[in-house]
Amino acid sequence: MNAIKDAVHDYIEVDGVARELLDTAAVQRLRHVKQLSTVRLVYPSASHTRFEHSLGVYHLAKQALEHLEISDARAESVRAAALLHDVGHGPYGHQTERIIERRLGRHHDDVDHLLADGELATVLESHGLEPGAVADLIAGEGKLGQLVSSDLDVDRTDYLVRDAHHTGVPYGTVDPGRLVRVLQFVDGDLALAAGNVATAESLLVARALMNATVYRHHVSRIAGSMLERASERLLDETDLDAATFARMTDAQLLAALRECDRTEPLAARLAERRLYKRAVWAELEGVPEWVLEAGHAACRDLEADLERSLGLEPGAVIIDCPGRPSMPEINARVVVNGDVRRLHEQSPLVQGLQAAQRAQWRLGVYAPETHAETVRDAATDALELSG
């Protein structure tokens, strides 16, 4: 058994299939994919990796299984799934996820292609595990898949605590030890034991505060949007295929962007933190429905129209319209007076947090500083923004 020192969970004991999986190329690659991608341009100490996070998720899954008294081959499959749950992430994690989804038609949780054969499959099968079953657990399928991917999964428990620790913000304050110890299955559904409404609320509050201060910080959103546009152009104008792109590390992608003439200017801006500025930062109530419903292609057409009308070079205008506000944690199940209830049915905090999330939502239009004011006026008119 190996004991690995961790900044969040102290010592993490790794044994069984996980010990061998750690040495595979797919897992070691996660050392070179930052957990918070462009957030580190805001919080300099947020340099932790998806490798560290994967170890943390494995650790919490192991604790939850012990608490639930699950110790057979099913438990080994869950531990493997917890360690491997992020192997499907592309470079810069969620910042390139939408590109990979559009080009390859798969989400980062869809890892059947990575586990079907090769080194990962060999390790799993050598321990009597079925790679397809592990991939299903990563996707959150089945009763035990809820431990890896659900409203109460150990994934979000670890990343909230870990991201708060490394950014230095005091908001991701959940108690992972308590959370894994009050998990139970009720009629096949994962729930928190009676008396733990406040425990569920702590997860909800932590996520809401981390969204506002860390995950959706405007600087990170600008940098992430610039990275996404540069990556799209790289795939469109070079012979780099999407499958190879999806397996790059952060450094490999940035190097490829700097080597391509069409993407080098944006890559240099990202590397030197010379980011675009906010030309528009519009509240939800001021954005018309047709803009909220506009898809990827429509937004790119709008950007191109603005660039042509203002005589700007391609790529000088970026429209960043996030999805409608959502808070999946409100569906977490909690036992109250012997009944299983959804958190939003029991907690008076939910409505207030949902209102806060709507108030914090913003549509962004970004441009180089020299063009920001001109773009602001044109974009406000073109997008029919009010307020």
300 and 154 in one domain? Answer: no
pLDDT of residue 1: 64
Q: Are residues 154 and 281 in the same domain?
A: no
Which one-letter amino acid corresponds to residue 203?
L
Q: What is the mean pLDDT of residues 330-339?
A: 92
Same-domain pairing of 15 and 158: yes
* Integer CA distances (angstroms), 92 to 32, 234, 322, in order: 9, 15, 18
Q: Are residues 154 and 290 in the same domain?
A: no
* Residue 212 within a domain: no
Mean pLDDT, residues 145-155 taken together: 95
Do 6 and 143 sit in the same domain of this protein? yes
Q: Residue 155's domain spans which residues?
A: 2-168
Mean pLDDT of the chain: 95
Same domain for 281 and 161, yes or no, is: no
256 lies in a domain?
Answer: no
* Residues ≥6 apart with Cβ < 8 Å to 53: 35, 86, 158, 159, 162
Asked whether residue 40 falls in the same domain as residue 164, the answer is: yes
The pTM for the full model equals 0.95
Please tell me the distance from the alpha carbon of residue 56 to that of residue 161, in angstroms, as a whole number.
10
User: b/e string for 257-267 if b means 16 or more Cβ within 10 A?
Assistant: bbebeebebbb
* End residue of a domain, out of 168, 191, 209: 168
- What's the order of all strands across the beta sheet hosting 183-186? 183-186, 189-192, 333-336, 339-342
The CATH number that applies at residue 121 is 1.10.3210.10
pLDDT tens-place string over residues 239-297: 999 999 999 999 999 999 999 999 999 999 999 999 999 999 999 999 999 999 999 99
Q: What are the pLDDT digits (tens) for 340-349? A: 999 999 999 9
> Domain for residue 375, yes or no?
yes
Judge whether 59 lies within some domain.
Answer: yes
- Last residue of one domain, picked from the residues 104, 133, 168: 168
Q: What is the pLDDT of residues 368-379, one digit of tens each?
A: 999 999 999 999
Q: Within a domain: residue 134?
A: yes
pLDDT tens-digit profile of 114-145?
A: 999 999 999 999 999 999 999 999 999 999 99
The DSSP line for 228-244 is HHHHHHHHHHSS--HHH
42 neighbors 220 (Cβ within 8 angstroms): yes
In DSSP notation, 23-70 reads TSHHHHGGGGSBSSGGGGGTSTT---BHHHHHHHHHHHHHHHHHHTT-
Environment class of 64 (CB within 10 Å of its CB; exposed 0-12, middle 13-18, buried 19+)? buried
- Is residue 208 assigned to a domain? no
Q: What is the pLDDT of residue 256?
A: 98
* 163 and 293 co-located in one domain: no
Last residue of a domain, one of 168, 192, 207: 168
Counted domains in the chain: 2
Domain assignment of residue 379, yes or no: yes
Residue 184 domain-assigned? no
- Torsional class of 322: left (φ above 0), alpha (ψ -120 to 50), beta (otherwise): beta
Taking only the tens place, the pLDDT of each residue in 163-209 is 999 999 988 788 999 999 999 999 999 999 999 999 999 999 999 99
Considering only residues 171 and 88, tell me which one the structure prediction assigns the higher pLDDT. 88
